Structure 1
């Protein structure tokens, strides 16, 4: 199997890495703390229940929504956490579609007395890229339905928080809040060789312990390596296609060519990774979670 040079701590911007840190019941206090810092007292989250991350539409032709992470708070509020490593043209549209899917599911089927009272739905987008149309000095965006004339909140049970991590450039001495500490940690975790003194607090100590690559089991290390490889291959494919396109001076059709070429390459890479994991004895359900491929397809490899 191909070997990878990794840092002391896992990369939270890989699919596997993020779910390792925040996506399981034993580690939910990490996600609770991060969300409470994000909401700045607007909402206090006491507990979370993890929900399935795939939601199907009511009709066969409806497109399913597959969330990176979906949780429900103790008061019924729902939180979608999406980690987006590379630019996606319709990322905002996808986020709106996801929140709309959860709102629609709250309708009481068959009830004649439903009052349309809804539970809050929030989406947090942790992005390793920047929106084209955002302010260059603003990396944290809190979005709600407001009245345009006054700026007053019109509806407070639907909210979006987008974090453009490339714009967060504070140094250790410039950090001024627990939220700053979280952002610094997420951005720099995979580059750290030691735990900074200012992050030696119970919640962060637990995160560092979970993120320590040397603490991973053989299967977990293998899964992490494959997640890293898929990410690196994707980024390298994007860089290569864009470079060749510019070298030829081809402007028209480049975007479409990139999408088709990268999509084909990513799918083939998933198959290759899945075959390697299967040959190494990994459980098909685990392989499916890592690669996103259906178990039926994995059985045929």
Structure 2
């Protein structure tokens, strides 16, 4: 068996955000948000449609959105590219989701909590060994939790997860293993297959169950991600070879501009800015002179 990579936008939303994914998403969120406890009894997936098959691929951010049974709004994002100001974007999206709940004339009492769950294919917090990090508002000195603590940020850093199959103990372990290693597996591990929702996730991810058009779309998206990861990594390495901080920054900037020019025919300005770190205004300027 060959499984599609759940880190790409098409696969991620097909597995967790499609119309048949309700039980899968419920198990996934219980595992990563509530440490495997069955807190979420029901949910409603918002906009359960796959990304459109378009020429310009947008793999800089991958979202699934759901209403939980307690009216909490959950935003789930799989981020594969370590782009500039990504942490700010996570906070912005969570705050925007929280604020945009209100219609004109509605009171603040109508606001419901927001949980932003972000899975990254890179390290967000290099000074921490934790695979899962949870952030809420607290008082700096006493650590007192803010009364209306309605926005929670949860990060899962896949590179920090190093458990082997035999070491998988919890539902959380098994879902993280699925996210990190599904693409490289040739069969479903028995220890994971006994969980109905994970079994269903593997079934959806099995390439045998994809149409030729779906498989082609997936392969193009995965190749795009690998290309950009390689290009960004090369740019940073070439910058470092300058030997001094000024040279590093200049080398990285020159490579970012070169990558931007390559992406202009394929992506919109916002997506290019998120990948390369070049401002939207400068991307637009490059587009006008390209």
Q: TM-score, normalised by structure 2?
A: 0.78
Q: Which has the higher contact order (CA 8 A, sep 6+)?
A: 2
Say if 2:139 is the partner of 1:147.
yes
SS at structure 1 position matched to 2:10: helix
CA–CA distance in structure 1, aligned partners of residues 153 and 38 of structure 2: 13
RMSD: 2.4
Q: In structure 2, which of residues 154, 171, 176 is the aligned counterpart of residue 178 of structure 1?
A: 171
Alpha-carbon distance change, 52 to 209 in structure 1, aligned in 2, over 3 angstroms: closer
Say if 2:204 is the partner of 1:207.
no
Per-residue CA deviations over 1:173-206 (Å, capped at 9, x if unaligned) read 2222110111111111001111111011211111
Alpha-carbon distance change, 67 to 226 in structure 1, aligned in 2, over 3 angstroms: closer
Q: In structure 2, which of residues 23, 30, 43 is the aligned counterpart of residue 48 of structure 1?
A: 43
1:100 — aligned with what? 95
Per-residue CA deviations over 1:123-168 (Å, capped at 9, x if unaligned) read 0010001125531x21210111122333232243210110111010
Gaps of 5+ in 2: 49-60, 269-290
CA–CA distance in structure 2, aligned partners of residues 91 and 121 of structure 1: 18
Task: Report if aligned partners of 2:9, 2:62 keep a CA contact under 8 Å in 1.
Answer: no
Q: In structure 1, which of residues 95, 117, 127 is the aligned counterpart of residue 120 of structure 2?
A: 127
CA–CA distance in structure 1, aligned partners of residues 111 and 103 of structure 2: 11
Alpha-carbon distance change, 50 to 262 in structure 1, aligned in 2, over 3 angstroms: farther
CA–CA distance in structure 1, aligned partners of residues 257 and 42 of structure 2: 42
SS at structure 1 position matched to 2:103: coil
Q: TM-score, normalised by structure 1?
A: 0.75
CA–CA distance in structure 1, aligned partners of residues 127 and 198 of structure 2: 30
SS at structure 2 position matched to 1:182: helix
CA–CA distance in structure 2, aligned partners of residues 262 and 47 of structure 1: 43
Task: Report if aligned partners of 2:40, 2:68 keep a CA contact under 8 Å in 1.
Answer: yes
SS at structure 2 position matched to 1:159: strand
Task: Report if aligned partners of 2:102, 2:110 keep a CA contact under 8 Å in 1.
Answer: no
Gaps of 5+ in 1: 1-6, 54-65, 272-301
CA–CA distance in structure 2, aligned partners of residues 47 and 264 of structure 1: 46
